[in-house]
């Protein structure tokens, strides 16, 4: 079994430095931390969670609450968070809120009652009015992916508005001007921000924003399917669709195929998330990638720091960048596009 000493020797640092990386007890430079974490993964070093917790009298179990555990995006976030925590000797229990505020409240209260050391939360779209629950909890928490207005907990967010701009600018550059958007739930901040980015990109290019080209889904494939059918039933249909997550993009592509339309020959489709299935769909999906691994690592580091020192300044929000991944679901519009 690999030891901390083995990690130190392979990394070219002291055992004390490795301990600080594992336990988050002192600042270690990003370059050194990444080197130590890479060696830990290579040689299979895992801290003894139970022994350390008993010795220090601290909780080594953390909670992660997601709206929909069946959504591959949230499953990939859970994997990233759990792996990052395991490297530091903590285990993560994943709970599903079913996208319901009452269920989310219940799950968080259960986790707190069972004295988990901290909670990672992807909330269901809680409003400022509902923030009292989180402010009243005496437990470290990091918000992932979504924000709650008025709450002062640590937060890791994606620059969703920029991602919406990237998707739309890509379609504009291909020559599309009638670009539809399949949005997510209005109360969820990433959805609203992605639509904002879509609108800003249109207006920056001199294309008038048409609210009639925005359909609202719920991040499921079936809602993307229904929204695409509605868009294609219009007298003047769009030549491109920006779907605010990959699952809705998959549903939209299925609806287009059933209508006898080809992607991207007749209609281009761009998604958001870059879940693993996106590269293997037919056609492979052009999408906006989120840095899930980096987000999981950052969330783990921030939560563990907060658990050890509750007086640290709040990180709110830490914004992470998106990347456009171009595949075969997007192309130039039939007839060349542009004017109109």
Domain covering 160-290 assigned CATH 3.20.20.70 in the classification? no
Residue with tokens 């929000």: 317
Task: Give me 96's structure tokens.
Answer: 């599903």
Domain 1-45 coded CATH 3.30.2010.10: no
Pick the CATH number of 48-158+292-320 from 3.40.50.300, 3.30.559.10, 3.30.300.30, 3.40.50.2300: 3.40.50.2300
Q: Does the reported pTM lie above 0.85?
A: no
CB of 217 closer than 8 Å to CB of 224: yes
Q: Tell me the H-state helices in the chain.
A: 4-11, 15-23, 30-43, 49-56, 72-87, 101-113, 132-135, 160-173, 189-204, 221-232, 246-258, 292-308
What tokens does 50 get? 């139970």
Predicted confidence pLDDT, tens digits, the chain (340 residues): 688 889 999 999 998 898 888 877 778 888 998 999 899 888 888 776 545 554 455 668 899 999 998 999 999 999 999 998 988 888 899 999 998 888 888 898 888 888 888 999 998 866 665 666 666 667 888 989 877 766 778 889 899 999 999 999 999 999 999 999 999 998 888 999 999 999 999 999 999 999 999 999 999 999 999 999 999 999 899 999 999 999 999 999 999 999 999 999 999 999 999 999 999 999 999 999 999 889 988 999 999 888 888 778 877 677 899 999 999 999 999 865 554 4
Query: What is the domain partition of the chain in residue ranges?
Result: 1-45, 48-158+292-320, 160-290
């Amino acid at each position: 079994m690999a030891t901390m000493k083995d990690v130190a020797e392979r990394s070219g640092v002291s055992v004390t430095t490795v301990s600080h990386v594992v336990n988050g007890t002192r600042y270690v430079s990003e370059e050194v931390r990444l080197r130590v974490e890479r060696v830990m993964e290579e040689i299979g070093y895992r801290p003894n969670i139970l022994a350390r917790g008993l010795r220090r009298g601290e909780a080594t179990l953390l909670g992660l609450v997601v709206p929909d555990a069946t959504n591959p995006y949230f499953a990939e976030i859970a994997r990233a968070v759990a792996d990052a925590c395991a490297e530091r000797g903590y285990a993560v229990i994943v709970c599903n809120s079913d996208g319901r505020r009452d269920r989310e409240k219940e799950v968080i209260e259960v986790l707190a009652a069972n004295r988990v050391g901290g909670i990672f939360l992807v909330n269901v779209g809680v409003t400022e009015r509902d923030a009292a629950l989180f402010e009243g909890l005496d437990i470290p928490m990091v918000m992932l992916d979504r924000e709650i207005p008025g709450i002062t907990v640590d937060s890791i967010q994606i620059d969703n508005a920029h991602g919406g701009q990237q998707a739309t600018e890509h379609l504009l550059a291909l020559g599309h001007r009638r670009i539809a958007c399949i949005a997510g739930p209005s109360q969820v901040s990433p959805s609203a921000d992605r639509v904002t980015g879509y609108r800003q990109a249109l207006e920056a290019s001199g294309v008038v924003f048409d609210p009639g080209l925005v359909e609202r889904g719920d991040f499921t494939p079936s809602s993307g399917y229904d929204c695409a059918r509605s868009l294609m039933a219009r007298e003047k249909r769009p030549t491109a669709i920006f779907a605010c997550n990959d699952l809705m993009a998959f549903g939209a592509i299925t609806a287009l195929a059933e209508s006898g339309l080809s992607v991207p020959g007749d209609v281009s489709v761009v998604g958001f998330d870059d879940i693993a299935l996106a590269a293997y769909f037919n056609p492979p999906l052009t999408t906006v990638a989120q840095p899930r691994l980096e987000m999981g690592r950052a969330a783990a580091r921030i939560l563990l720091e907060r658990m050890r020192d509750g007086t640290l300044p709040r990180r709110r929000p830490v914004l992470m960048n998106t990347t456009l991944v171009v595949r075969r679901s997007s192309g130039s519009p039939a007839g060349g596009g542009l004017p109109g």
